[in-house]
């Protein structure tokens, strides 16, 4: 029964997981590859003040008059990347020198530029299909992959000491046939990669399957029900005269930097033009958290004051379940362990992509073996066949 389940679930989901794992391999080193292929994006830190949001906004408006600014991202040693987009009409990234404000690059994702890593991520998340179709397919194929890993370790488990000797290492001779080598690749590599693949698959599932995400939170919190993210709003009943969306950007920015003076990464989300109650939101990664934790701030766009929340969004007040949720991406791509972790995630994902291939080869070999050969009698008793009288 376990073997039958492993076989058919593998045949059903194999192609999907091959794509998901291969694209995942590539994405793991997205930052490192981008740094090599986009030299203009790398900035040497200087002992100078960074551009203020109002300055970023002014430069962006000059480049894209009448266009909607969604926000910008500052990352130490990189350009300031400004996001300008509106539904399906336009989608730009403007890259600015963080000290001089010089425009270093403009990416137009609606026209002439092909973003390789955006293409890779789209394949990883929804197979380049429409989101509503591709996303559920990837989510439940990943769930199927988790079942495959569990059934696979059950099938791998040696029945005795003699069998165990062949489960942990390759012992190939010059006479070892490719069929046996393929079988060992499937079993031995699958065994060593299983734990890492489980972590990658489970953290990936929590973004796509709400019921799974809530279940993880329930377990980590000791039985607390997870509530949807609390929406924070600016006070639209007290709007001072002559206040625009950008009036308090600098005020909020300076307050964040006063609390976290040397952050690794800051993403500043502008209030949307069509949302009067929207806030100025910040997601800040302090260096002390190793690059996988963040602090969240929300400011009233009209007063520039921090919006109070019933549930603290600060790391110091986070519970175990909240801390775990902030670590999901770092675990998913191996970033939580730095470069060695990324290498592990890369090799595990590459192994994950190989499992459907080696598994299908094993299945085809067994089908051929189990298929009855034609003219078996003539092969066993050829002389008797020749002596049969002709009709």
Residue 388 pLDDT exceeds 60: no
DSSP state string for 296-333: EEEEETTT-PBPP-SS--SGGG--HHHHHHHHHHHHHT
Whether the predicted pLDDT of 280 surpasses 70: yes
Q: How far apart are CA 161 and CA 182, in angstroms?
A: 22
In the structure, what pLDDT confidence band is assigned to residue 389 with cuts at 50, 70 and 90?
very low
What pLDDT was estimated at residue 336?
87
List of residues 6+ apart from 220 with CB closer than 8 A: 320, 321, 324
- How many CB atoms are closer than 10 A to CB 338? 12
CA–CA separation, 220 vs 202, rounded Å? 14
Residue 219: closest CA among 331, 140, 325 = 325
pLDDT digits (tens, 9 = 90+) for 247-271: 789 999 999 999 888 888 999 998 8
Q: How confident is the model at residue 127 (pLDDT cuts 50, 70, 90)?
A: very high
pLDDT in tens, 170-198: 888 888 888 889 999 999 999 999 999 99
- As a whole number, mean pLDDT of residues 312-334 equals 83
Q: Which residue has the higher pLDDT, 246 or 224?
A: 224
* Structure confidence at residue 374 (pLDDT): 56
Cα–Cα dist 179/156, whole Å: 17
Flag whether pLDDT at 116 surpasses 70: yes
| 207: Cβ contacts below 8 Å, ≥ 6 apart | 213, 328
pLDDT value, residue 111: 66
pLDDT at 274: 66
The mean pLDDT of the chain is 87
Cα of first residue to Cα of last residue in the chain, in angstroms, is 49
Q: Give the model's pLDDT for residue 285.
A: 87
Contact 82, 94 (CB under 8 A): yes
pLDDT for 19-39, tens place per residue? 999 999 999 999 999 989 889
Closest CA to 280 of 260, 253, 258, 257: 253
């Amino acid at each position: 029964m376990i073997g039958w389940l492993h076989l058919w679930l593998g045949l059903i989901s194999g192609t999907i997981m091959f794509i998901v794992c291969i694209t995942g391999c590539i994405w793991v080193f997205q930052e490192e590859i981008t740094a090599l292929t986009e030299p203009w994006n790398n900035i040497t830190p200087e002992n100078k003040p960074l551009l203020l949001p109002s300055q970023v906004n002014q430069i962006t408006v000059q480049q894209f008059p009448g266009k909607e600014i969604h926000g910008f991202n500052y990352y130490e040693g990189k350009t300031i990347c400004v996001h300008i987009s509106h539904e399906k009409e336009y989608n730009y990234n403007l890259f600015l020198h963080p000290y001089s404000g010089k425009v270093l690059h403009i990416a137009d994702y609606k026209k002439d530029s092909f973003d390789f890593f955006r293409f890779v991520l789209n394949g990883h998340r929804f197979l380049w299909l429409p989101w509503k179709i591709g996303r559920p397919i990837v989510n439940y194929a990943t769930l199927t992959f988790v079942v495959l890993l569990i059934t696979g370790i059950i099938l791998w488990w040696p029945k005795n000491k003699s069998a165990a000797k062949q489960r942990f290492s390759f012992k190939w001779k010059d006479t070892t046939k490719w069929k046996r080598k393929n079988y060992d690749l499937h079993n031995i590599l699958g065994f060593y990669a299983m734990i890492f693949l489980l972590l990658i698959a489970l953290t990936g599932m929590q973004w796509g399957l709400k019921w799974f995400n809530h279940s993880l939170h329930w377990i980590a919190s000791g039985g607390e029900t997870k509530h949807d993210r609390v929406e924070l709003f600016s006070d639209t009943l007290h709007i001072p005269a002559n206040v625009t969306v950008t009036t308090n950007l600098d005020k909020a920015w300076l307050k964040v930097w006063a609390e976290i003076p040397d952050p690794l990464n800051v993403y500043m989300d502008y209030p949307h033009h069509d949302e009067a109650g929207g806030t100025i939101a910040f997601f800040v990664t302090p260096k002390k958290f190793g690059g996988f934790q963040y602090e969240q701030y929300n400011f009233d766009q009209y007063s520039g004051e921090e919006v109070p929340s019933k549930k603290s969004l600060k790391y110091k007040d986070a519970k175990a379940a909240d801390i775990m949720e902030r670590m999901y991406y770092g675990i998913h791509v191996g970033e939580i362990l730095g470069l060695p972790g990324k290498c592990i995630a890369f090799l595990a994902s590459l192994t994950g992509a190989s499992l459907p291939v080696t598994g299908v080869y094993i299945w085809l070999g067994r089908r051929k073996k189990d298929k009855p050969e034609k003219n078996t009698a003539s092969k066993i008793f050829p002389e008797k066949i020749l002596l049969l009288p002709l009709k």
